[in-house]
Structure 1
Amino acid sequence: NPSHSIPLGTNVAIALTSFVYLTFCIVAGCTTRRDVNLDFYERKNGSIIQIVNCSSVINDTECKSGLIYNYQTMRMISAFGPIIIAGIFAATLSSALASLVGAPKVFQAVCRDMIFPCLKFFSVGNGKSDEPHRAYFLTYFISISFAAIGELNVIAPIISNFFLMTYALVNYSCFDASLAKASGWRPAFRYYNKWLALVGALLCVVVMFVINWWAALITLVASSGIFLYVRTTKPEINWGSSVQAHTYRRALDATLKLGTVQEHVKNFRPQMLVLTGNPICRPALVDLGSLVTHGNSLMICGNVVLDDPSINIRLNDQKEHGEAWLKKRNSKAFYQSIVAPTVRQGTMALLQCVGVGKMRPNVVFLGFKNDWLIKAEATN
């Protein structure tokens, strides 16, 4: 049962690793002093070992030792030092291989979403398993470039901050999905709480600045830049994000609230049902209706499809084309089609059924029919 096993395994792993780390802290604190001033230290100058007298050297970090300055403390206090080195190599290689394999896959998926069109080159896969060879090479060169710096303590704060930013965004995503009450977000974990997720996100940001403030600023600037780019370009990708859930909730709440507001002549708006038929065929009528509403009141383009209502007629494709055309034309209007045996019956059905709450048409807008002019001339 994944809903039971995954949380259990995660919590057990967190508890076990926390216990190991805390045990190491206690053992290291009991066996090694926090800060030690050395009398001298050995320094290699090529093949020559020099003994440096710390009493004659001022402000030399090499004259310091202890838990703060000596990164080999674990090997020094262990019963068998080489096994510590072997463990470090094993953990490092495991993490490196996982990153070198996992990161290109994620990067390939991002490139295929066309969020950044300039990175389309790396979306290509190879072989039956669709391996991202190009992304592999990019990841390799990035790794080599950082490793070439030769100073782990310079790279570590940046990497740690980006990891913390990822954790912060994951926590905030959980909080935001819960706040929006998205129907697809149903966490089954018994002790889940949206406010705890928000606190976790804030703590991650705080820890980022505690670790290294300038690395935290770089991370925030990079993340904000990506967010602003995506928000500005608005890629045509439907992720089913919590933003959609927020939009739906706001629209629903506003519509329900509008239903309780008493109408007043000062706030009267012409809410128009424009009988355009297929709006693509009557752009002038759509434009005239848009000039009247000016994008500040309801406008619905109605289309009566003459056919037998009992027959299953596909209107979704026609509706999608109509809505896409209205969007392309920057017309703030809705599109609604209905199947009826006559135009009169279809129009009456639209007037009675279209809209919701007080968002209903109060004006019918239709074009001048050609046969009206013919009949008028025949009458005269």
Structure 2
Amino acid sequence: MHTPPTNSSKTTQHKLGTFAGVFTPSILTILGLILFLRLGYLVGTGGLQQTLLIIFIAYTISILTSISLSAIATNLKVRGGGDYYLISRTLGLEFGGALGLVLFMAQSVSIGFYCIGFGEVVAGLFAMNDGIAQIIALVAIAGLFFLAWQGADWSTRFQYVVMAVICLALISFFMGALLHWDFALLRGNWQSAPQAPSFWVLFAVFFPAVTGFTQGVSMSGDLSDPGSSLPKGTFMAVGISLIVYLTAALFFAGSLPQQLLASDYSAMNRIAWLPVLIIAGVFAATLSSAMASFLGAPRILQSLASDKVFPLLTPFATGVGSSNNPQRGVLLAGAIAIFTIGLGDLNLIASVVAMFFLISYGLLNYATYFEASSASPSFRPRFKWFHKYASLAGAGVCLLAMLAINWESAALAVTLIFAIYQYLQRTAKQSRWADGRRSYHLQQVREHLLQISLELEHPRDWRPQILAFSSSRTRRERLLKFSSWLEAGSGLTTLVHILEKSPLQKKSAENELYEDISASGVQAFPLVINAPSLEIGSSLLLQSFGIGPLKANTILLNYLDSYTQHFFTLQLKSFGKNLHSALRLGYNLVVLDAKEPEWQKLAQQAPDQRRIDIWYISGNSGSLMLLLAHLMTRSDFWLESELRVLSSVHSGDYKATLAVLQQELEDIRIDADAVIVEDFSSATILKYSQDASLIFLPLTLKADQIVDCSGLSVDKLLPVLPLVALVIAAQKIDLDAEPEQGIAGILAKAEDKLNAAQAHAKQTEEEVQTINQAIEDNLLEMRQHGSEEERTKLYNKLGKSRQQLDQAIRRSTKAEAKMESKKRQLEQLHKKYHINESAEQENEDGA
């Protein structure tokens, strides 16, 4: 029966502490078969120098990951699931679910691997055949299954026995090594042996030794204080095991000759004071590693099932007893281990399993970097000895290690993780917990907005940022859909409702907008403004909407509900007045006339039969219509539609007008058919566009009334046309702007003029200095000549020089004044680089 966790002492009295729950399973997995059967081989083939380097690199991954683990584990209350829990609560359901599933499989398969190793050692010791090794492995699995079935308490008691055996084996080895110690052997074993395997091959042999330091994380659900125990226990296990491996490598090098170390996997037996303890240590190491996996795998599965990531796994969420022991997970892990033993050659699977552990370490490091980079106020880990770039380095080292060990296995493991990630991204429901992704995206928004504010605006950067006004639920879906067509994934839409009722109704109005946006399938943000009137609310909104450089530039709204109401004239006048106010505030206007029958007719049209007609008049409004129509053709709905641009004839010359229009469309890179018509009267519009799917028409305001191109009210034209978008631009829309144009070009010209003014001022200053020097020379010459005639000549020459000096000073003063003026103009432009496009030309002329 499943027992939910509580804070009562009755429940927590069976929880494990740092030593039993983290340190013991971690260090027993690290001090495994590699230490007893492969470390001597590494020293003999690679030499002590390379062995120490291999240990250093492997433990760099362990230490960096331990630092990341400590930071993230002390930032939240760690529950069951270990690596899966930490990663899923940071990087999200998809990464966590993918990693959790493969880690469960990897640890379950590892049980079989370790037991096969145990069986082979026993069979080899007693000279039995291979089939006996598999039977021994099955017996070992049965014994470990019984301990895991009883729960963590029983398994912990077994681990204490194992630890005692391993400690005795190491003591026997170190005592024997001291008796065999020879400095000459140490010097001889420093370099690698002739024809030794490559460094990375030897690294691949050793690296599985350090893949057990996160075993304690898998037991997080059984810990009394995971936030404290996980960092302490993990660092203790990593630190002590590092000392053991370094000391053991040194003692191997100083105890036996290189040839013997390289050829005999059981070299530790030759060195040990009591060899029988080494054999016991090998047995204990294999069984302890298998036991740690038997404890960890079911708890990952239980946490995964509790989160309902994979509905098929939900039954495995049930636990037994006060410790919530995952017996169903133990049963499944045991079955996978038995299946693993029957597979035979498992080399490929073994390397892929190692890759899964490396991926988990890499993701743990990246999750810590991800969380720290989000700069979230909630990221307050108690463990302070970390840095986000150290975590990023840990993720990078894990990736490099995967590629160095076996790039094919690495590719296979990454492909499997990615496939599960994509599956969850498409099928998983809303996450049942908050992760770090939203904080990360908020930080990215902040950084990008600040960066945008430092960069100059340019016409090429223009994209539709739309405020869609709607108070009618019956027509809101059409407005939202049309807005999504206009921005075509390049802009943003905010759905606005001005609420003239009580502020108490604002929340229900917001919920209504959320519902309508969700029902439409369109991406948009809802916004409800409470105001005494529509005029006051819209005026305040239009003047204050946006943040920094990200502001709305286009207003989209439905045309009036009815053409036949008795108060239509008054309603239309108020409508036009509000449009005029928005236009003066610098907003482009798009008014959609979408009648329900015409909308339904559009939906029934074949995609390749749809046509958009643009009634084009040269200018900003015409350019805006062309751009919006082009953006619409990027959406799936209008992808196959035809664009047609209609323009009136000039001076009666149809061919010349057509050629000019075609060249203009070519220059602005918009694919459309050019058509020349006789005029823009209502009759002509009806004649050419009655069968169009959508019509873009220029919007004109005359005395707060909306009129067509011929100056007549649109209330007679719109009812007989299909879907119509009335458009007027308040901003400069340049569809063929060069990179050198815009504010950057204005500043560049201003800087050039300032440089020229500074050069001229410098030139006049040098001219003044030259004339001053000439005057001084004349005065000196006058003192040296005594005749009256010579003095008169020099006096006249001095007078001319002084006149030249006065003129040069005036020129210099004017040049300095002009330079200061240009400098002030440039400073003003830099302060006002965010000015709107309508003021750019004025600034350019002033510069």
Query: TM over 0.5: same fold?
Result: yes
Which position in structure 1 is the counterpart of 2:415? 221
Structure 1 residue 335 displacement after superposition: 0.8
Q: Please give the per-residue CA displacement for 1:145-185, whole angstroms capped at 9, x wherever unaligned.
A: 22345678776544333222211221222233334434443
1:125 to 318, 323, 338: 318
Per the alignment, residue 169 of structure 1 pairs with: 363
2:463 and 2:491 in contact (8 A); partners too: yes
Q: 1:108 aligns with which of 302, 316, 323?
A: 302
More displaced 10-residue stretch of structure 1: 348-357 or 255-264: 255-264
Q: Is the 8 A contact 1:274 1:286 kept in 2?
A: yes
Identify the residue that residue 251 of structure 2 maps to in structure 1: 27
| SS of the residue 2:547 aligns to | coil
Question: Greater shift after overlay, 292-301 or 100-109?
Answer: 292-301
| Deviation at residue 336 of structure 1 after TM alignment | 0.6
2:520: which partner in 1? 329
Distance 2:513 2:567 in 1: 32
Q: Which one of 291, 295, 315 corresponds to residue 97 of structure 1?
A: 291
The CA deviation string for residues 219-242 of structure 1, in whole angstroms up to 9 with x for no partner, is 333333334444555753276555
Structure 2 counterparts to residues 30-49 of structure 1, below 5 A: 30-35=254-259
The alignment of Structure 1 onto Structure 2 pairs a total of residues equal to 345
Which amino acid in 2 is paired with 1:363? Answer: I
Counterpart of 2:470 (choices 271, 276, 282) is 276
CA deviation profile, 1:81-101 (whole Å, cap 9, x unmatched): 333333344444443333223
Specify the code of the residue in structure 1 equivalent to 2:547.
V
| Cα distance in 2 for residues equivalent to 1:339 and 1:123 | 50
Code of the residue aligned with 2:392 in structure 1: it is L
Amino acid in structure 1 at the alignment position of 2:398: C
Superposed, 1:230-379 pairs within 5 Å as 230-231=424-425, 233=427, 236-237=430-431, 240-259=434-453, 271-277=465-471, 282-309=476-503, 311=504, 315=507, 319=510, 322-323=513-514, 325-357=516-548, 358-360=550-552, 362-363=554-555, 365-369=557-561, 373-376=565-568
Tell me: CA distance 1:323–1:76, structure 2 relative to 1, closer, same or farther (3 Å).
farther
> Which one of the candidate residues 384, 389, 394 is aligned to 1:200?
394
Seen in structure 2, the aligned counterparts of structure 1 residues 228 and 364 have a Cα distance that, compared at 3 Å, is closer
Contact map agreement 1:302 1:350 (CA 8 A) in 2: no
Tell me if structure 1 keeps the 8 A contact 2:476–2:516. Answer: no
In structure 2, give the amino acid aligned to 1:84: I
- Distance (Å, rounded) in 2 between the aligned partners of 1:157 and 1:34: 28
Q: What's the secondary structure of 1:79's corresponding residue? A: coil
**Deviations 1:213-269 (CA, angstroms, capped at 9, x unpaired):** 544343333333334444555753276555434432333333344445666666655
Q: Which moved more, 1:146-155 or 1:339-348?
A: 146-155
CA distance in 2, matches of 1:166, 1:270: 42
Bigger relative contact order, structure 1 or 2 (CA pairs below 8 A, ≥6 apart): 2
Counterpart of 1:19, as a letter, is I
Deviations 1:282-322 (A, max 9, x none): 3233334444444544432112344433x5x572x754563
Tell me the amino acid that sits aligned with residue 15 of structure 1. G
Query: Partner letter of residue 565 of structure 2?
Result: L
Does structure 1 retain, via aligned residues, the 8 Å contact 2:320–2:326? Answer: no
SS of the equivalent of 2:560 reads coil
2:570 and 2:412 map into 1 onto residues whose CA distance is 79
Letter in 2 for 1:27: F
| Greater helix share, structure number | 2
Larger-Rg structure: 2
Residues 54-91 of structure 1 show CA distances to partners (whole Å, capped at 9, x for unaligned) of: xxxxxxxxxxxx43443333334322233333334444
State the TM-score, normalized to the length of structure 1: 0.72
* Corresponding residue of 2:237: 13
Quick one: distance in 2 between partners of 1:207 and 1:337?
53
Q: What do residues 114-139 of structure 1 show as CA deviations (whole Å, max 9, x unaligned)?
A: 5445x345544255665544433221
Q: Distance in 1 between matches of 2:456 and 2:564?
A: 40
Between stretches 164-173 and 226-235, larger displacement belongs to 226-235
Q: Secondary structure at the match of 1:204?
A: helix
Distance in 1 separating the partners of 2:432 and 2:545: 27
Equivalence for 1:59: none
Q: CA deviation at 1:4?
A: 7.9
- Worse-superposed segment, 103-112 or 276-285: 276-285
Change in 2 beyond 3 A, CA 1:112/1:5: closer
Mark the CA change 1:230 to 1:152 in structure 2 (over 3 Å): closer, same or farther.
closer
1:31 match: secondary structure: coil
- Cα contact 2:303–2:317 (8 A) shared by 1: no
User: 1:18 Cα shift?
Assistant: 1.1
Classify the secondary structure of the residue corresponding to 2:527.
strand
Cα 1:216–1:267 shift into 2, 3 Å: closer
| Closer/same/farther in 2, CA of residues 182 and 376 from structure 1, 3 Å limit | closer
**In structure 2, C-alpha distance between the alignment counterparts of 1:280 and 1:377, rounded to whole Å:** 23
What is the alpha-carbon root mean square deviation over aligned residues? Answer: 4.0
In 2, the alpha carbon distance for the partners of 1:324 and 1:93 equals: 57
Do 2:351 and 2:406's aligned partners in 1 also have CA atoms closer than 8 Å?
A: yes
* Distance in structure 2 (CA, Å) of the matches to 1:201 and 1:111: 27
- Alignment-derived partner of residue 83 in structure 1: 277
CA distance in 2, matches of 1:169, 1:329: 37
Comparing 349-358 with 328-337, greater Cα deviation is found at 349-358
* Runs of at least 5 residues in structure 1 that lack an aligned partner in the other structure: 36-65
Change (3 A) 1:277 1:228: same
**Amino acid across the alignment from 2:542:** L
Q: Tell me, yes or no, if structure 1 residue 146 matches structure 2 residue 370.
A: no
Cα distance in 1 for partners of 2:352, 2:460 equals: 58
Partner of 1:160: 354
State the alpha-carbon separation in 2 of the partners of residues 153 and 295 from structure 1: 48
Asked if 1 retains the 8 angstrom alpha-carbon contact of 2:464 and 2:490, the reply is no
Contact map agreement 2:302 2:317 (CA 8 A) in 1: yes
What is the DSSP-based 3-state SS (H/G/I as helix, E as strand, rest coil) of the residue aligned with 1:32?
coil
| Fraction of identical pairs, as percent | 27
User: Could you say what secondary structure the match of 2:546 adopts?
Assistant: coil
1:153, 1:291 → 2: CA distance?
54
Contact 1:105 1:132 in 2 (8 A): yes
Cα distance change of structure 1 residues 159 and 82 upon mapping to structure 2, 3 Å threshold: farther
Kindly tell me: are residues 288 and 222 of structure 1, through their superposed partners in 2, closer, same or farther at Cα, counting changes over 3 Å?
Answer: closer
> Which amino acid letter does the alignment assign opposite residue 373 of structure 1?
Q
Aligned to 1:60: none
TM-score normalised per structure 2: 0.36
Change (3 A) 1:76 1:142: farther
Q: Please, which runs of 5 or more residues in structure 2 have no aligned partner?
A: 1-73, 75-224, 572-847
Give 1:276 deviation, angstroms.
1.7
Letter of the structure 2 residue corresponding to residue 199 of structure 1 = A
